[in-house]
Amino acid sequence: MPKVSPGFSPKLLIFHQAVAWHGLCWVKGAAEGVVFKASSLHAAFQKATAMKHHNLYLALLAGMSLAATGAIAKPALMVQPKDAQIISSGPGFGSITDTFNQSGLNTGYVDEVTNLHPYTATASHTLVFSGFEWFGNQGTDTATVSYFVNSSLPFIDHLVLWNEESSGIGQFNLWYGTTAGEFGTLLLDGVSPTDHDLVDYLPDVWEFAPSSPLGWYTIQASGCPQPIVSGFASCAIGEVAFGGPAVPEPGIWAMLIAGFGLVGYAARRRRVIAAQS
Ligand SMILES: [Ca+2]
Ligand SMILES: [Ca+2]
């Protein structure tokens, strides 16, 4: 079985199975001069059984499912925001640009190329403030910041946050909208990042329902500063990035087409042998 990433979705797999099943039934039926009116998996299976080809269909389905799983289980890739805006508690201290330009990371990532999970397991952010982090206005316990994402990946479903270690963010909601600061779709509701001590810190990673690869993602932070150290009375961010699935490679589709051709050849051969005996 292909390795299933933490981003694996059973619903997507079922959807792909259904698509694969209907597609195969239709093509196989058309090839035999019978276009299936398969409005459900059950109807398709009954039809396949009636044609005494159910084993063939099950084998095909299994193959397609395996291939679909491989396609879906492509690793999540790192996605770098292209812009950011402070919606509240600004201008604060430091530059908001330093929270998405990879400043302060011990090792960089390549936008839409680096695999998210292995990378975020070891990529730490410096505890040094100047030139690397952003703090909100002193005396504020909330802050809202929007990040602009414009990615060629099919969708966005991960948030990566290096939660600044001395003040950080207590809790936050993540929203998606088409404009900066828009509370459009709620993607994460009241989640709590790690409260780090005064050390270089690793990121937290959250997965959420697939969302648009183009638009503004807004972090609505509260509960700042965090208890450990509470060095400065405001919210603070070290670095923010996103993640989405890789697109299936053309090779997977070539493999499927080749496999289908082989199965079709085998079925035809079986009929010829049956006709001769
Ligand atoms: Ca940074
Ligand atoms: Ca802390």
- Measured from the alpha carbon of residue 123, the closest ligand is 1
CATH code for the domain of 208: 2.60.120.260
pTM, to two decimals: 0.69
4 found inside a domain: no
Considering the domain architecture, whether residues 120 and 31 belong to the same structural domain is answered as no
269 found inside a domain: yes
The DSSP output letter for 105 is: B
Residues with CB under 5 A from ligand 1 (ion): 98, 103-104, 132, 239
218 found inside a domain: yes
The DSSP output letter for 223 is: S
- Give the number of domains in the chain: 2
**End-to-end alpha-carbon separation of the chain, Å?**
38
Considering the domain architecture, whether residues 185 and 119 belong to the same structural domain is answered as yes
- Mean pLDDT over residues 252-265, rounded? 69
**What gap in Å lies between CA 241 and CA 218, rounded to an integer?**
12
| pLDDT tens readout for residues 46-78 | 665 676 666 666 666 666 666 555 555 679 999
Considering the domain architecture, whether residues 130 and 32 belong to the same structural domain is answered as no
Let me know: does 99 contact 32? Beta carbons within 8 Å. no
Considering the domain architecture, whether residues 200 and 87 belong to the same structural domain is answered as yes
Considering the domain architecture, whether residues 85 and 29 belong to the same structural domain is answered as no
Distance 104 CA to ligand 1 centre (A): 5
Distance 20 CA to ligand 1 centre (A): 44
**What gap in Å lies between CA 205 and CA 116, rounded to an integer?**
9
Distance 41 CA to ligand 2 centre (A): 52
Distance 142 CA to ligand 1 centre (A): 19
Distance 240 CA to ligand 1 centre (A): 8
212 found inside a domain: yes
Q: DSSP of 77-101, one letter per residue?
A: EEE--SEEEEEES-S-EE-GGGGTS
Let me know: does 47 contact 36? Beta carbons within 8 Å. yes
2 found inside a domain: no
Distance 6 CA to ligand 1 centre (A): 26
Considering the domain architecture, whether residues 201 and 113 belong to the same structural domain is answered as yes
Lowest mean pLDDT across 9-13, 153-157, 204-208: 9-13
116 found inside a domain: yes
Decide: helix, strand or coil at residue 38.
Answer: coil
- Tokens coding 212: 């648009």
- Measured from the alpha carbon of residue 226, the closest ligand is 2
Distance 128 CA to ligand 1 centre (A): 9
Considering the domain architecture, whether residues 153 and 239 belong to the same structural domain is answered as yes
1 found inside a domain: no
- Measured from the alpha carbon of residue 130, the closest ligand is 1
Let me know: does 143 contact 234? Beta carbons within 8 Å. yes
- Measured from the alpha carbon of residue 230, the closest ligand is 2
Considering the domain architecture, whether residues 156 and 218 belong to the same structural domain is answered as yes
Considering the domain architecture, whether residues 14 and 108 belong to the same structural domain is answered as no
| pLDDT tens readout for residues 88-138 | 999 999 999 999 999 999 999 999 999 999 999 999 999 999 999 999 999
Distance 114 CA to ligand 1 centre (A): 18
Task: Name the phi and psi angles at 53, rounded to 5.
Answer: -115, 15
Its domain, for residue 17, covers 10-74+249-276
